[in-house]
Amino acid sequence: MKLSLGEIAEKLELELRGDAATEITGLANLLDAGPGELAFLFNPVYIKQLDRCHAEAIVLREAHAHACDLPVLISSQPRLTWARLARLFDPAPLPGGQVHPTAIISEAATYGNNVTIGAHAVIEPGVRLDAGVAVGPGCFVGERTTIGENSQLAANVSIYHDVIIGNNAIIHSGAVIGADGFGFEFDADVSQLVKIPQIYSVVIGNDVEIGAGTTIDRGALNDTRVGDGTKLDNQVQVGHGTTIGANTAISGCTAIAGSTKIGAYCMIGGAVGIVDNIEIVDGVEITAMSLVSQSIKQKGRYSSGTGLMPGLAWKRSIVGFARLDEILKRLRNIERHFRK
């Protein structure tokens, strides 16, 4: 892929300060960029890196252009410019619009125009794949599941029966949608856990991305739901009957239990735990590895846990933590002396 700075400026409607004929062959970060590569100044914190930058040109805000001797493209939103430019330089193979002869497609499945189905994929009866859908090699799509226009499943994705997926989904390898929620009842007569069949399903909105190895369970008494525009990173777990609002981003390895409601426009850090049967309002931010054990009723930023410490100091702190109730009592005792 090659584009001249002039072509890029035109396509993305950016002001160019430099030679329009200069050829760009790729994108890179400020430190690693070399000849032919375009780099980005997202954050003025890194402005000093411009001095030793070997990029062919830089995308930056007008206010920082003065600090740069290289050719520049002026963008009021360099990160959005990046997102658009990266599409032009993306080597990812595009779906070819073919159905591989080794795919096993039920005669009772239907699919629209320009659908791609990879080798060894399995499409069960009653499935509906809308126009432009791509199902990767080795995927399984269970009975009566529907997948909306232009949605893409990478290789080895598993989708159970009766799942509904909207348009423009991107679902990465190893993701599992619609497995049974974790529902059991202890039967005291036989001292065993009895399985509660998970008879509802999963409903995914439009424009959702689901990361590699992420699992979204089907519901027991209502559908598990993921709202439009929401993005789930890798190895996220979404419990049965949980609802996630629109345009929320959930980072990797976050575990969400069942029957919980998460709002729209939330930002949930990695490896967060969220317990069952709570509600989190819109616009909440949770920092990495926090445990949300109660409903959150006000938007804002929340955290739990402790800071990282050298091992020995930490051991002393956890001793103190276990004695916090005692510490409060001793404080009160002392304070009593002063009140007299």
161 in catalytic set: no
In the complex with its own copies, the residue whose CB is nearer, 19 or 314, is 314
Q: Cα–Cα distance between 80 and 285 in angstroms, integer?
A: 22
Give the number of C-alpha atoms closer than 13 A to the C-alpha of residue 49, restricted to the C-beta side: 16
Contact (Cβ atoms closer than 8 angstroms) between residue 97 and residue 116: yes
Contact (Cβ atoms closer than 8 angstroms) between residue 112 and residue 129: yes
In the complex with its own copies, the residue whose CB is nearer, 68 or 230, is 230
In the complex with its own copies, the residue whose CB is nearer, 20 or 273, is 273
Q: How many residues does the chain have?
A: 340
Structure tokens at 271: 């490896």
In the complex with its own copies, the residue whose CB is nearer, 113 or 209, is 209
Selected catalytic residue, list 100, 161, 172, 240: 240
In the complex with its own copies, the residue whose CB is nearer, 25 or 113, is 25
Residue 243 pairs in a beta bridge with 225, 261
Residue 137 pairs in a beta bridge with none
Q: How do strand 243-244 and strand 224-226 relate by DSSP bridges?
A: parallel
**Shortest Å distance, C-beta 197 to its own copies:** 4
**Shortest Å distance, C-beta 298 to its own copies:** 8
**Shortest Å distance, C-beta 85 to its own copies:** 9
Q: Cα–Cα distance between 245 and 231 in angstroms, integer?
A: 10
Greatest pairwise CA separation for the chain in angstroms: 90
**Shortest Å distance, C-beta 11 to its own copies:** 15
Structure tokens at 67: 């600090």
**Shortest Å distance, C-beta 294 to its own copies:** 7
What 3-state DSSP class applies to 330?
helix
Task: List residues with catalytic annotation.
Answer: 240
